[in-house]
Amino acid sequence: MQVFDERTTAMHWQVHKVGARHGKRYYERNERMPVAATLGGDPALSFAATAPLPDGLDEILFAGFLRRKSIEMVKCKTIDLEVPADVDFVLEGYVQPGEMRPEGPFGDHTGYYTAVEDYPVFHLTTITHRRDAVYPTTIVGIPPMEDFYIGDAVVRIFFAGVQNEFSGIGGHDAAGRRCFSQSRLRQRSETISLSGVQGNARTLGHGPDDV
């Protein structure tokens, strides 16, 4: 969320993200979309937010499964949404359909700068926080950085599930950035390379098994 001024930021919704699909429904109705961005809280929340979960599996439900305890939710102050009770900061606001502004360039997880592109505008209505709140952050740059190790944990945890979905899978490697990975599917004498960006978009290619 690139800060434009004291009341507005960019809302970096890439087209394959669930948030963008939610926004599309509001846009089709020409209806203002309430948005709450949270920072901090139980680490299970941060992990669940970045995990490559299938559509229909709620991240809050998954976080509760990880911690073996349900997530207590509380109502926001200015919008009709609920957020986890133990987060450190909550940014409440809305996105207005059709309102776009250029965002970027900014340092990305690949170690390079992204190009300037138009994204929706987030309008801040209030910020709430805990006493002695801790602002979580990370450093991005040429891999491996902090996010690489989170990505490596994601690969190790979800690899068994990927193997169940693709029985011929022979290898799976994190490529140094969040939610970018490459897998090898062994099919007789050749290998199908399956790459996923952000856990959604995928491309297929063929090559020898030792590639």
Catalytic residues: 108
How far apart CA 9 and CA 3 sit, in angstroms, is 4
Could you give the 3-state DSSP secondary structure of residue 47?
helix
Q: Within the chain, what is the greatest distance between any pair of CA atoms?
A: 60
How far apart CA 206 and CA 208 sit, in angstroms, is 7
Distance of CA 176 to the CA centre of its chain: 16
- How many CB atoms are located within 10 Å of the residue 185 CB? 16
Phi, psi dihedral angles at 147 (to 5 degrees): -65, -20
How far apart CA 65 and CA 51 sit, in angstroms, is 13
Contact 124, 8 (CB under 8 A): yes
- Count CA within 13 A, CB hemisphere, residue 75: 4
Type of residue found at 141: G
Type of residue found at 159: F
173 bridge partner residues = 182
Question: What are the tokens at 112?
Answer: 């390079």
